Structure 1
Amino acid sequence: MLTPEEYLHVCDIALDGMTAIVTELGDDLACTHPPLDGANTPFAILTHCLGVMHAWAGHRVAGRPLQRDRDAEFRAQGPVADLLAATEQARAQLHADVHACDPRAPLTATTGHRLEAHITTAGAALLHVLEELTQHHGQMQVTRDLLVQAPGRHR
């Protein structure tokens, strides 16, 4: 099975990639929707990932209170510097949570989320965090490409 360091290395690759993208785009483009119906901004995608980390690793695995407005994550805007600081804080907490958990242990807390029918252990919850981080990193790469290649923009 994976060691905590191996698991966190892959999480960090995704987080590093997403922070690099919002940094590259800057405050304006990071908060811009690509030209697709219903598409999210890079800022919102990363904000959502922080919410996923808090909900699944922080609440369900570590047992901290859940304070999350999932809908607001997709409307989030602001300075990239603030998002980068929040990401580093969430990353440090994820590292601590992963090192402190027993992956075979049952979830510490539940919310009634439909996935909890299949995600019943700390290890499975952490795999879900990894799934979300990697898929949203890819989504953000495509989003970045759409934004920088939009008419009137050059890379």
Structure 2
Amino acid sequence: MESPAPGEQILTTLLLEKFDQLTEALASIPPEQANSLLPVQGSNSPVQLMLHCCGMMRRWSSTVNLGVEVPRDRAAEFTAVMDKEAALQLASDARKSFVNDLALTAMHDAPIAAPPGRDSEYWMATCEGVLMHVLEELCQHLGHLEITRDVLNLPAC
């Protein structure tokens, strides 16, 4: 197999950096706050954000790009309660599987299993485009997790 093109290497590095930053942000939160919600409707706990990112990332990298289904309950990701260490282990496992998915991905090919209703999205033209969407989502949720962490750590007024 030939080496990935420089752009593909950059994308892979960015994806893994953002996921690692998510993991580091969760790791920095005290265990008793890992499942805490902010006092606003619809907020998500740090654990929920991590589980959602793991599910999202594998859905696109494996189920969509490679056609290898990874079971996922998206709604459950946003109601989950899990020990912080278990969430970090799940993240580690998801990262390893994601790296394997990336190694098998033909970046310039079309995804094998475009989800119904999403096949018209401009970024669905190639597997690389799908992974750019994953990067977009990881960046969004990293910011979300960092804000959640910061608010949870505010001193009481």
Same fold (TM over 0.5): yes
**Partner of 1:34 in structure 2?**
38
Q: Secondary structure at the match of 2:29?
A: helix
The aligned runs of 1:1-155 (5 Å cut-off) are 2-112=6-116, 114-118=117-121, 119-149=124-154, 151=156
CA drift of 1:62 comes to 1.6
- Whether the aligned pair in 2 keeps the contact of 1:27 and 1:78 (CA below 8 Å) is no
In structure 2, how many angstroms separate the alpha carbons of the residues matched to 1:2 and 1:139? 30
Query: Structure 1 segments of 4 or more deviating over 4 A?
Result: none
User: Unaligned stretches of 5+ in structure 1?
Assistant: none
- Whether the aligned pair in 1 keeps the contact of 2:49 and 2:141 (CA below 8 Å) is yes
Residue identity in the other structure for 2:111: L
Residue identity in the other structure for 1:75: T
In structure 2, how many angstroms separate the alpha carbons of the residues matched to 1:59 and 1:43? 23
Which sits farther off after the overlay, 63-72 or 18-27?
18-27
- Whether the aligned pair in 2 keeps the contact of 1:35 and 1:146 (CA below 8 Å) is no
Which sits farther off after the overlay, 132-141 or 25-34?
25-34
Q: Secondary structure at the match of 2:36?
A: coil
Per-residue CA deviation, residues 81-140 of structure 1 (Å, 9 max, x unaligned), is 11111111111111121122111111111331x433111321111111111111110111
- Whether the aligned pair in 2 keeps the contact of 1:18 and 1:140 (CA below 8 Å) is yes
TM-score, normalised with respect to structure 1: 0.88
Identity of aligned residues (%): 26
TM-align CA RMSD: 1.7
